[in-house]
Amino acid sequence: MEACYLEAHRKGILQQRVDKALEILESCRLCPRQCEVNRLQGETGVCRAGRQAIVSSYSPHFGEEDPLVGRSGSGTIFMTHCNLCCVFCQNYEISHLSEGAQVGSGDLAEMMLALQQRGCHNINFVTPTHMVPQILEALPGAIEGGLRVPLVYNCGGYEEVSILQLLDGIVDIYMPDFKFWDSEMSARFCSAPDYPEKARAAVTEMHRQVGDLLLNQEGIALRGLLIRHLVMPNGLAGTREIMRFLATELSGDTYVNVMSQYRPCGEAHRHPELRRSVTPEEYREAVKMAQEEGIHRLDERRLVRLFQWL
């Protein structure tokens, strides 16, 4: 299966999307924050990103989900800053403390090509929401340089549907988090009371574009939706409600990674509810909830680790 952005490039659609996305930077409305700052002139909003992309690191990654990693790894490009800025972020130095370096579109294209040359199965943009125009701007050069592997949009789930529509026919694999079901929790820990409704709308649009996760004969992802859900202590994430939504409103074949690795990071120590890791019992119950609500495509490597843990 050919990466979908190649056809978009041939038809001139990609360049049209580049132009539209760059226009948005003049009054930035890339995410639900709707800061409306002029990033073309160096103004910054909540995410603190300006005109240029900022990259923290890029490399083959072997800790991602099984369908992305395969034998040669997922080609991750970690974008600096974040539009959500959760208080418990495990990449706090990148998202909150701005660790990274500015890069031009040519540099970003070269990163993609270097990762493909190393055998990575995909190009995995980590926290790309606030950098959509810069990523799109870099794509034509990467394509002309021979880029062919699928693109992964690895985000926090706090998205605007209108921006996701700019990515229709360009992104092959969407991998959003679905962090919280309850607006009180998302307001407290992400300063985003509208997160649950925005995440529901976002994953629905993503599924409309790419459908359920499609794998090749080797089990490598080619196209589709993969949802991440981080289990939180004390049931704060609303796991059952999220799994029910995914199974009933999207598809029972939705591929889900129920993640156990929450630990207090960043500013979590300021919140009593977040000061401990998830227990084995809490994680086991979360997996059970997912299965009871009709989710049967769970990241297998995580389940193996669960049973070893227990």
**Per CATH, the architecture of 4-42+62-309 is what?**
Alpha-Beta Barrel (3.20)
Q: Are 61 and 91 in contact (CB under 8 A)?
A: no
* Secondary structure string (H, E, C) spanning 138-181: HHHHHHHCCCCCCEEEEECCCCCHHHHHHCCCCCCEEEEECCCC
Query: pLDDT tens across 22-62, in order?
Result: 999 999 999 999 999 999 999 999 999 999 999 999 999 99
Dist. CA 55–CA 99, nearest whole Å:
8
Nearest Cα to Cα of residue 174 among 144, 147, 205: 205
pLDDT digits (tens, 9 = 90+) for 199-241: 999 999 999 999 999 999 999 999 999 999 999 999 999 999 9
What is this structure's pTM? Answer: 0.95
pLDDT per position as a tens digit, 98-116: 788 999 999 999 999 999 9
How much is the pLDDT for 193?
98
Does the structure show a pLDDT above 90 at 302? Answer: no
Give pLDDT, residue 107. 97
Query: What digits encode the pLDDT tens for the residues 2-32?
Result: 999 999 999 999 999 999 999 999 999 999 9
Helix (H, G, I), strand (E, B) or coil at 241: helix
Do the Cβ atoms of 221 and 68 come closer than 8 Å? yes
Give the separation between CA 119 and CA 189, rounded to whole angstroms. 38
- Looking from the CA of 89 toward its CB, the CA atoms found within 13 Å total 19
Q: Are 173 and 206 in contact (CB under 8 A)?
A: no
How many residues are present in the chain? 310
Average pLDDT value for the chain = 94
Among residues 185, 174, 192, 179, which one has the least CA distance to residue 129?
174
DSSP 18-58: HHHHHHHGGG--SSTT-----GGGT---TT---SSEEEEEE
Run of H or E residues at 215: strand 214-215
Q: Give the three-class secondary structure for 187.
A: helix
Residue 267: both structure tokens together: 């500013």
Cα distance between residue 297 and residue 287, in whole Å: 11
Q: Which ranges in the chain belong to alpha helices (H)?
A: 4-10, 13-24, 66-69, 92-95, 105-117, 132-144, 161-166, 183-190, 195-210, 239-245, 280-292, 300-309
Q: How far apart are CA 111 and CA 60, in angstroms?
A: 11
Helix (H, G, I), strand (E, B) or coil at 95: helix
